[in-house]
Amino acid sequence: MALADTTIRSTKPGAKPRKLFDGGGLFLLVAPTGGKLWRLKYRFDGKEKLLALGAYPEVSLKDARERRDDARKQLAKGADPGATRKAEKASKVGRAADSFEVIAREWFAKFKPAWAESHSSKVIQRLQNDVFPWLGARPIAEVTAPELLTVLRRIEERGALDTALRAKQNCGQVFRYAVATGRAERDPSGDLRGALAPVKHENFPALTDPVQVAELLRAIEAFRGTFIVKCALQVAPMLFVRPGELRTAEWAAFDLDKAEWRYLVTKTKTEHLVPLPVRGGAILRDLHALTGQRRYVFPGRDPHKPMSGAAINAALRRMGYDTKTEITGHGFRAMARTILHEELHVKPEVIEHQLAHKVPDALGTAYNRTRFLAERRVMMQQWADYLDRLRGVPRSFRSP
């Protein structure tokens, strides 16, 4: 006799499991704990088997009968419903394991150690905020170019054109990693060439007029902020390293007696050597009395952490400079590159090596931390002397 909902609802659990049959092999198993579970008994290849169809009331009587009928259709076609169920589950697990987010995070973990912390944090935040919510659960092999474009258009619509372009580049890297590891056939981002709005990249603002540079140097000397920030401002134009490398500089990397600073360039993971001019060494020796017992040369409010990444630009604004149109901490590099070449006539390859840029030479080799070292030592002192002349200071720190 077929079951009815009233019968199912009124059946109470007993001391032992109880079966309520509905016909066609379908029955409801009422457990002593109160659970009511749908089961289908069937035979395949001469063996009796049992298939779970869900729990009541989440799976209603009507739903259970439909699932029974679907299973019986499979049997009529010579397929085992239980084996089909297992195959579907395995397929879902496999698809989840090969989802865009899973593979993207695997790619990120593999390459993150070779990146600067600032770069890696931007990459993962970009993926988490702008890509994963829409593509993360999709099997990576099934993501199409139009799907990816929809995600990128969403970024463009809020005016973040550069972010959209970088997100496309990161997605392309993930797709190519999936292809290389056998989990995708192709990279659909390649089909989107020219589909995004072009981005006009602007250089960091910098002062390259000697008269304006002189005014800036005098403003730095008159700065009334903290001693640590003032020291950082004084050596920043003199050493022209990347702002992140300056603020995270560690005393262990300095040899003040040899007038050298050696560290690992965060952008390229290459070793770099900065010859220290006389005045630069004097400023650092003076600062060593205050922070020399700490890890960082320029610590922040927390003595165990480096100075804030915004400190230099904040100090420049405090001195009256517009960091969007006039000068930034990064702009000291362009200042040095331009004036060293145009005013002091230093060879470009010497400047580029001191900037830690990878510039292949005639032999095809790239950046070498010791290449042009003698010339770079002379250049760094020449540059410091030039800055002193602009500021109008005595010759006490200049080379003979």
- Hey, what are 247's tokens? 């603020």
- 152 with 168: CB under 8 angstroms? yes
Q: What are all long-range contacts of 376-382, with beta carbons under 8 Å and residues at least 24 apart?
A: 376/275, 376/350, 377/275, 379/340, 379/344, 379/346, 379/350, 379/351, 379/354, 380/239, 380/274, 380/275, 380/276, 380/277, 380/280, 380/354, 381/275, 381/277, 381/278, 382/344, 382/346
User: Which residues participate in catalysis according to the annotation?
Assistant: 242, 267, 330, 333, 357, 367
- 395 with 367: CB under 8 angstroms? no
Angle among Cα 256, 261, 264 to the nearest 5 degrees reads 155
Scan for tokens 């500089």, then name that residue.
Answer: 249
Scan for tokens 């290449």, then name that residue.
Answer: 371
Q: Give the Cβ contact number of residue 376 at 10 Å.
A: 20
- 264 with 249: CB under 8 angstroms? no
For residue 272, give the 3-state DSSP assignment: strand
